[in-house]
Every structure is written in structure tokens, then in C-alpha cells.
Amino acid sequence: MIFLPNVIATVALTTLWAFIYNPVFGLFHSFFKLIGWQAAAAFTFTSIDHIFYAMVIALIWIEVGFYLILLMAGIDKIP
């Protein structure tokens, strides 16, 4: 039960990133089309050549909050 919120949050965040990286109606695709960068809108973030970097960006964003809390607790000397 203690670990359950971490599992739910991870599943929800991976679903969010799947929407962001979607090459047809994703957030990045729509944003680049809106500002007129057609070449960037056609860029597929989840292609075989770029999937590692796309996953690294998403995982860093997902995990940075947890480790920041640990760092802040250590700095404040909270047991």
C-alpha cells in the first residue's frame, strides 16, 4: 500500500508522455504545426533513432521530483 501511489503516478505519467510524443495528434506535433515549423512537426520523436533520447527526457522529468524531495530533506536534516 505504501508503494501504490508511485506505481499509479508512473502509469499516469507514461500515458501523458505517450500523448505528448504521438506523431499524429501529440502535443509536440501540434505545437510545431502551430508555430509553423513543418519540418519539426514531421519529426518523429519515437522513431528507432530517437526513442532513447525521448525516454531519457521523460524519465528525468518524472524522477526529478522524488530525488529533489530526498535532497531537500537531507539539507534540512529531517530524519
pTM: predicted TM-score of the whole model, two decimal places: 0.61
Domain boundaries of the chain, sorted by first residue: 4-75
Q: pLDDT by residue (tens digit) across 1-46? A: 444 455 677 788 788 888 888 888 888 888 888 898 877 777 777 6
Termini Cα distance of the chain: 22
pLDDT at 1: 41
For residue 62, CA distances in Å to 5, 6, 58, 67, 72 come to 13, 11, 6, 10, 17
Residue 65 banded pLDDT, cuts 50, 70, 90: confident
